[in-house]
Amino acid sequence: MLDEAIAKLQEKHPWMKYEEGFALMVDAYERHLPNNKYSGMTKTLVEISFGIFLREDEYLLKNRLAKISEFM
């Protein structure tokens, strides 16, 4: 599932490297993991984040990636 999501991100955003797509998806998972009170809640929230990543433009995604790399 993760590799398919990253491939779709790279298809939509040709400038994106595999590592950047991986960082976005892992960050989304880690941000939503505490909300896993109900069965499958984290998965649903990560899928929503993935949909947002597909629609965002390059500028916003690069800012997101900068924040992720700053705190790693």
Tens-digit pLDDT profile for residues 47-58: 999 999 999 999
Spell out the domain ranges in the chain.
2-70
CB burial string 47-64: b at 16+ within 10 A, e below: eebbeebeebeeeebeeb
Per residue in 23-65, pLDDT tens? 999 999 999 988 787 778 899 999 999 999 999 999 999 999 9
User: What pTM was computed for the model?
Assistant: 0.88
